[in-house]
């Protein structure tokens, strides 16, 4: 296609049409869509006269070609020339900012949109929702959504997807229910977002409901898959499977699927290169995961902040923290909070205090209101028994009015859902549950279980630590499951936070004692406990 496009350009040169401003804009657009962004740039630079269409075409070309920085730089040059842009420009710039996940630029650009009166356009508002969601600020995305006088299908899907990609599964479901009552009909994009929500919640019952909805939309799905973008659809379906393999610790299967994808001539996209290193990370395949960035460069794809965050997570989990820090230092743009957050998480796992402090400082400069980062830093200090520093972090949280999210576990069986907080005494059967935990703990100790006091992030006596560990929310859930479910049936639990090491060890012992499987979905991944082992191979 690029060769044919260059041929058309030659014809325009011969006939003199290449000097026409509309032809020049069309050539820029053509080159961008054919993968010849450098050719398009040459045409743009050679234009003697540039109007708003010319500038917007080149800005959009850069954005579509995964060159967001160049797109934003050109937008600034356009403004310096006294050309403010229009709603089409705004959509492309918002998308470029979304690619960079730059929250400061997002807020600044939103102000520009308001000043110029573009927010009344539904398409612009939709792009702002996607922009804020990709930057991790779903609160501002929701403010944009709520402020819209008119909403189309894309508006609802963008907000639902925004909640989903930022881990707000409950909010996504609530908004979907509102969409069914007040909004347009759901479509395949809605279904894909809901599939992601089911994955986060680990709810089999909900997954079956969504599956039924997808089946009911069969005609629409068939039409969507019969368009001219079959390769894109193939990439999307494979991305979902790569992500699913990664979530359950099947890194090799994810890599095999990626290799099969390339062998079939299907071009991977930026989502592929987010899912693949995550799959390698969860399977401990650091050596293979290292090749991901190189593969992107070979395909002339610009790694974005989210790709670097995945790579830092991969290297950090493998204990290669110096290499992870070097990768951050070599980034072509300023690291965002996701990148520093991945490094801080690795420092917590491996007890790297000094590097953790550096990551925490950078994080709190970028996101001073993010509760999770304070909690991570508190955990790093607690693991090193620096209780004074733990107190300082908690005091800083109180000063900002921030609270640590309470650990919460959900047990699902049939159509029933039971929720548990740590040390929960509100459940009507809590006395029976506590008794079951005492019995399980005693039996586990005969098989070699030793409570891990380092998982208690408070300066208390060892005896008190053991009591606190017994009453973790996931242990309450599994104890209740054992008392309610028939022998042999698996116990399915979902937790909103990462599972602690003590509970992870305890669950392996419980499967030996009770002879049943436990399927646990925490904030990081899915764990399948059976016969004294876990599917994650203790790598999570």
pLDDT in tens, the chain (540 residues): 555 655 555 655 556 555 566 676 777 777 767 666 777 787 787 777 888 888 888 898 888 887 899 999 999 999 999 888 899 999 999 999 998 888 889 999 999 999 999 988 999 999 999 999 989 899 999 999 999 999 999 999 999 999 988 878 878 988 998 998 888 888 878 887 888 787 677 667 777 777 777 777 653 444 444 444 344 445 777 888 888 888 788 889 999 999 998 888 888 888 888 889 888 888 888 888 888 878 887 887 888 888 899 999 999 988 999 999 999 999 888 888 889 999 998 998 888 888 988 998 898 888 888 888 888 888 888 877 788 888 888 888 888 888 877 888 988 776 677 889 998 888 889 999 999 999 999 999 999 999 988 777 776 777 788 889 999 999 999 999 999 998 888 999 988 888 988 999 999 999 999 999 999 988 878 899 999 999 887 877
Residue pair 258/272 in contact (Cβ under 8 Å)? The answer is yes
Domain locations along the chain? 2-225, 304-404, 408-534
Q: Give 367: exposed, middle or buried? Use CB within 10 Å, 0-12, 13-18, 19+.
A: buried
Residue 422 per-residue DSSP state: T
Work out the number of other CB atoms within 10 angstroms of the CB of residue 151: 20
Q: What is the DSSP string of 270-297?
A: TTHHHHHHHHHHHHT-HHHHTHHHHHHH
Q: What is the CATH number of domain 304-404?
A: 1.25.40.10
Structure tokens at 271: 């989502």
Can 2-225 and 304-404 be said to share one CATH topology? yes
* pLDDT of res. 334: 85
Pure H helices in 371-460: 371-383, 387-399, 430-446
pLDDT at 231: 42
Which CATH number does 2-225 carry?
A: 1.25.40
HSE toward the beta carbon, residue 105, CA cutoff 13 A: 23
**No. of H helices and E strands in the chain?**
29, 6
| Dihedral (CA of 462, 463, 468, 474) sign | positive
Integer angstrom CA distances of residue 258 from 246, 273, 298, 394, 488: 12, 10, 15, 44, 36
- The rounded distance, in Å, linking the Cα atoms of 35 and 2 is 7
Residues 485 and 170: their CA atoms lie apart, in Å, by 26
Cα separation, 400 vs 379, whole angstroms: 19
Q: Cα(507)–Cα(509) distance, rounded to whole angstroms?
A: 5
pLDDT of residue 5: 52
Instruction: Select from 120, 165, 202, 149 the least CA-distant residue to 492.
Output: 202
């Amino acid at each position: 296609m690029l060769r044919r496009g260059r041929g058309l350009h030659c014809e325009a040169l011969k006939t003199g049409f290449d000097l026409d401003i509309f032809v020049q804009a069309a050539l820029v657009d053509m080159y961008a869509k054919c993968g010849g962004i450098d050719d398009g740039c040459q045409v743009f630079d050679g234009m003697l006269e540039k109007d708003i269409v010319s500038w917007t075409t080149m800005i959009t070309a850069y954005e579509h070609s995964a060159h967001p920085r160049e797109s934003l730089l050109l937008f600034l040059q356009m403004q310096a020339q006294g050309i403010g842009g229009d709603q089409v420009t705004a959509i492309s710039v918002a998308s470029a900012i979304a690619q960079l996940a730059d929250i400061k630029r997002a807020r600044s650009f939103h102000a520009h949109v308001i000043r110029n009166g573009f927010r009344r356009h539904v398409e612009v508002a939709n792009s702002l929702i996607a922009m804020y969601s990709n930057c991790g600020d779903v609160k501002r995305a929701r403010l944009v959504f709520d402020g819209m006088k008119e909403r189309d299908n894309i508006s609802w899907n963008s907000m639902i997807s925004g909640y989903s990609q930022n881990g707000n599964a409950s909010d996504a479901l609530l908004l979907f229910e509102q969409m069914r009552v007040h909004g347009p009909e759901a479509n395949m994009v809605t279904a894909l977002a809901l599939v992601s929500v089911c994955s986060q919640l680990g709810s089999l019952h909900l997954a079956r409901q969504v599956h039924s909805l997808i089946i009911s939309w069969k005609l629409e799905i068939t039409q969507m898959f019969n368009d001219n973008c079959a390769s894109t659809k193939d990439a999307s379906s494979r991305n979902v499977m790569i992500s699913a393999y990664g979530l359950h610790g099947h890194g090799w299967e994810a890599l095999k699927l990626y290799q099969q994808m390339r062998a079939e001539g299907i071009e991977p996209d930026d989502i592929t290169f987010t899912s693949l290193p995550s799959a390698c990370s969860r399977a401990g395949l650091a050596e293979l995961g290292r090749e991901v960035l190189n593969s992107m460069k070979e395909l002339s794809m610009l790694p974005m902040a989210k790709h670097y965050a995945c790579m830092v997570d991969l290297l950090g989990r493998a204990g290669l923290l110096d290499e992870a820090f070097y990768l951050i230092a070599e980034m072509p743009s300023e690291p965002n909070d996701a990148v520093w957050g991945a490094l801080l998480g690795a420092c917590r796992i491996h007890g790297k205090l000094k590097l953790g402090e550096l990551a925490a400082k950078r994080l709190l400069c970028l996101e001073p209101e993010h509760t999770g980062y304070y909690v991570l830093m508190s955990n790093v200090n607690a693991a090193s028994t620096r209780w004074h520093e733990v107190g300082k972090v908690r005091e800083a949280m109180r000063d900002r009015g921030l609270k640590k999210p309470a650990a919460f576990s959900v047990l699902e069986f049939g159509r029933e859902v039971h929720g548990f907080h740590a040390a929960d005494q509100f459940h009507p059967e809590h006395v029976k549950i506590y008794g079951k935990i005492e019995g399980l703990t005693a039996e586990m100790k005969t098989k070699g279980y030793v409570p891990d006091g380092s998982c208690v992030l408070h300066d208390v006596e060892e005896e008190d630590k053991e009591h606190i560990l017994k009453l973790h929310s996931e242990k309450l859930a599994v104890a209740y499951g054992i008392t309610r479910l028939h022998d042999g049936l698996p116990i399915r639990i979902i937790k909103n936070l990462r599972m602690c090491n003590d509970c992870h060890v305890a669950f392996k012992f419980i499967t030996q004692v009770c002879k049943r499987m436990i399927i646990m979905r925490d904030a990081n991944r899915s764990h399948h406990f059976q016969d004294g082992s876990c599917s994650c191979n203790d790598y999570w």
